[in-house]
Amino acid sequence: MPMPMPAHARLDVARQLLDLLGDTRTEPRPDDQLEALTLAVAADLPVLLWGEPGIGKTAALNQLAEALDLPLTTVIASVHEPSDFSGLPIVGDDPAQQGVPLAPPDWAVRLVRAGRGLLFLDELSTAPPAVQAALLRLVLERRIGALQLPPGVRIVAAANPRSSAADGWELSPPLANRFVHLQWVHDHEVVVRGLGGVWPVATLPRLDPAALPAAVAFARRAVCELLTVRPELVHRLPTSETKRGGAWPSPRSWDMTLRLIAFATAAGSSREVLSLLVRGTVGDGPGLELMASMDRMDLPDPEQLLADPAGAVLPERGDLRQVVLDGVVAAVRNRPERARWDAAWALLLRALESGAPDVLVVPATTLASLRREDWEVPEAIEHLASTVALSRRADRAAGRVAARTNVTAGR
């Protein structure tokens, strides 16, 4: 009869099984939210991840620290006192002459000794207002009492929405305005593949040294052009308490936005990643306005297009192509000449050959109305007329179908 296995041996076998379960690997995989996080970390801006409990915020930070080779220091904000972040007063030999120094906590001392690291402030939305107030200087100035954190330390926080946070609080506006807010959601394919043993790897962005000056110039131009025509967006504190605890525009958050645009441009990041960062810094409304403004910055000059319609390069995106063609027609309206009118028709014909016809309906109709009596009708109109008419009929048919659907649904 075999001897029973000792308890410690059973635990050793259990440890082997746990080691096998934890034996995972990583792979390069496009992930917009992970790329946005690493860009903000590279830009040395505090990041706040918002997500429901169990969504993987903590796991993402552990993986990020490992991938960037940064020691991770986790601090649960809700279980600390304000003095843990502002410093604990220590009475010395002669407080009347020397004052009372503020001693930093042990985790801050370890970060300074290491000279680098990733400070993870977890459960931020369950920290009471007094603790949030004590965090202001840490997040903005990187100071804890009399201790200055080294430049190699990055700060990332995580929070649950108040609806799902235990005894949750809304973030105070001063603290919220110091973060880049990223909504952390799960990707079904990433979760399934990760449970199978393969997780996406977080990597720092590859910044092109030759592109740095142009990236800074582009970022400054993008922010300044928008705020010049929309001065009310420079500082706009939301009226609701919930929105004040998120991203909103202020001179501080616009400065953060400018930095993120420069980093994303130098790294060649996608429009989707840049949109996450911009909206996470100044809010959805101002962020979307800025994205639309940046789209228009790269559009070709209508006068250059009219001067050389055969060599014109039109945007691929339909909404941007519509803006360009509307600009061309507006330029002809401002200075109506036969040659410019013919060139505009040539541009519309070129757009028809390389894109969807629906964007031509309005500019073609408007351009036709600008014709003078002594101007001959160009051949381009004949090619465009049937397309424009067909597009209009398709729009009317789609409208009728939608109307019938609504009527049926209302019965």
Residues 156 and 254 in one domain: no
Q: Which of 42, 43, 37 is nearest to 62 (CA)?
A: 37
Interior CA angle at 293 toward 342 and 279, to 5°? Answer: 150
When comparing pLDDT for 40 and 91, which is higher? 40
Tokens of 253: 């958050």
- Beta bridge pairs of residue 50: 159, 183
As a whole number, mean pLDDT of residues 131-139 equals 90
19, part of any domain: no
Residues 213 and 186 in one domain: no
Residues 184 and 218 in one domain: no
pLDDT band at 112 (very low <50, low <70, confident <90, very high): very high
User: Which pLDDT does position 397 carry in this prediction?
Assistant: 43
* Burial status of residue 91 (CB atoms within 10 A of its CB: 0-12, 13-18, 19 or more): exposed
Query: Residue for token digits 């020691």?
Result: 71
User: Which pLDDT does position 99 carry in this prediction?
Assistant: 63
What CATH number is attached to the domain comprising 177?
A: 3.40.50.300
Q: pLDDT exceeding 70 applies to what percent of the chain?
A: 87
Tokens of 189: 């394919």
The Cα–Cα gap between 3 and 98 comes to 70
User: Which pLDDT does position 395 carry in this prediction?
Assistant: 45
pTM of this prediction exceeds 0.85:
no
Question: In this predicted model, what pLDDT tens digit does every residue of 233-243 receive, in sequence order?
Answer: 999 999 888 89
Rounded to a whole number of angstroms, the CA Rg of the chain reads 29
Residues 33 and 153 in one domain: yes
The Cα–Cα gap between 82 and 230 comes to 39
Residues 168 and 241 in one domain: no
Q: Which of 377, 304, 316, 383 is nearest to 342 (CA)?
A: 377
pLDDT value at 398 more than 80: no
97, part of any domain: no
User: Which pLDDT does position 390 carry in this prediction?
Assistant: 45
Q: Are the beta carbons of 387 and 360 closer than 8 angstroms?
A: yes
| Separation in Å, CA 95 to CA 38, 91, 92 | 45, 6, 6
Residues 352 and 386 in one domain: yes
By DSSP bridging, strand 102-103 and strand 88-89 are antiparallel
pLDDT value at 165 more than 70: no
The helix/strand/coil state of 245 is coil
Residues 57 and 151 in one domain: yes
313, part of any domain: yes
| Separation in Å, CA 341 to CA 56, 182, 349, 383 | 58, 48, 13, 16
Question: In this predicted model, what pLDDT tens digit does every residue of 336-392 receive, in sequence order?
Answer: 999 999 899 888 888 888 777 778 888 888 888 888 888 887 776 766 766 555 444
The Cα–Cα gap between 383 and 380 comes to 5
240, part of any domain: yes
Residues 50 and 141 in one domain: yes
As a whole number, mean pLDDT of residues 61-73 equals 86
Domain boundary among 261, 282, 297: 297
pLDDT value at 401 more than 70: no
Choose the weakest-confidence range: 1-5, 33-37, 69-73, 238-242: 1-5
Question: In this predicted model, what pLDDT tens digit does every residue of 260-312 receive, in sequence order?
Answer: 999 999 999 999 999 999 999 999 999 999 998 898 887 888 898 999 988 88
Residues 49 and 76 in one domain: yes
User: Which pLDDT does position 93 carry in this prediction?
Assistant: 62
Domain count, the chain: 3
The Cα–Cα gap between 275 and 281 comes to 10
162, part of any domain: yes
Residues 39 and 179 in one domain: yes
Rounded mean pLDDT of the chain? 84
pLDDT band at 167 (very low <50, low <70, confident <90, very high): low
Determine which helix (DSSP H) or strand (DSSP E) holds 152, and give its type and residue range.
strand 152-159
Domain residues for 328?
302-410
Q: Are the beta carbons of 199 and 60 closer than 8 angstroms?
A: no
User: Which pLDDT does position 394 carry in this prediction?
Assistant: 41
Residues 288 and 371 in one domain: no
Residues 334 and 370 in one domain: yes
* Burial status of residue 401 (CB atoms within 10 A of its CB: 0-12, 13-18, 19 or more): exposed
When comparing pLDDT for 116 and 59, which is higher? 116
Q: Which of 33, 116, 38, 44 is nearest to 73 (CA)?
A: 116
The Cα–Cα gap between 327 and 295 comes to 14
